Amino acid sequence: MNDKSIHIAIIPDGNRRWAKRRGLKPWEGHIAGAERIEEISREALRNGIKNLTFWGSSKDNLQKRPLEEKRELLIIYEKYFKKLITDPDVYKNKTGINIIGDWKKQFPRSLKNILIKGVEKTKSHTHNFLNFMLAYNGDDDVLHAVKKIKEKLLKEKRDFKITPGLFKKYLLSNKLPPVDLIIRTGTENDPHNSAGFLMWQTQNSQYHFSGKLFPDFGPKEFRKIVEEFKRKQRRLGK
């Protein structure tokens, strides 16, 4: 497999548990997690990974967490993305930034402006892509496509063939290629996907479940998992 075609998605679970075990506030775990995201992103670039996707938050995360934790999490997002969109390496390496999910409805104006600026400033970058799923649920992704196709049908007042290509076009995640490898951290005898994470793109994905909480999951382990994945021969149902 060509390294540059690989798409890796990471479900970074365990920030809150990591903080709790250390007697820290939940958002201190999110701060540590943001640091790991930066380190892993650089490691992925060194390994020639074309697409790296992080699930930053589900809509449920934002709606159900205590108000103080949600407020602190949004502050962390603002600080992290300010740093990201001014990072010289993003422009040197032609890294495109994509933000996917219901974040425009969920986030405050100041944070939305930062995210929009980052996407706009890097929209011509195609060497590699850094994708963030924010306020994202997989069922919303699929329902968005269904609603858009229904709108198209009512507007055009004609029947048309619904193909996989047409359906993908209307997904919130339509820019993302199929995911080759999903890494989920923080599993405790409960390996699983959740909230329908990227249902369309994960039909043939391989999974790696790590018991390490995300703040303890660093570039070294990430590199080891990627190297192991590259050695495998994927059957893809054959």
Reported residue count of the chain is 238
8 Å CB contact between 52 and 28 = no
Give the C-alpha separation, 181 to 151, whole Å.
34
Range with lowest mean pLDDT among 2-16, 20-34, 62-76: 2-16
Report pTM: 0.92
Known catalytic membership, residue 13: yes
With tokens 């924010």, the residue in question is: 134
8 Å CB contact between 170 and 177 = no
Catalytic residue among 15, 51, 61, 131: 61
Q: What is the percentage of the chain residues whose pLDDT exceeds 70?
A: 96
* pLDDT tens per residue, range 134-146: 999 999 999 999 9
Q: Tokens for 158? A: 């004609």
8 Å CB contact between 194 and 187 = no
* pLDDT tens per residue, range 163-186: 999 999 999 999 999 999 999 999
* pLDDT greater than 70 at residue 55: yes
* pLDDT tens per residue, range 219-237: 999 999 999 998 886 655 5
* pLDDT greater than 50 at residue 105: yes
With tokens 């590199």, the residue in question is: 223
CATH architecture group of domain 3-137+178-231: 3-Layer(aba) Sandwich (3.40)
Q: Tokens for 148? A: 């858009």
Catalytic residue among 13, 102, 141, 180: 13
Helix axes 67-85, 109-121, angle to 10 degrees: 30
The DSSP symbol for 121 reads: H
For position 60, what pLDDT does the model report?
Answer: 83
Known catalytic membership, residue 61: yes
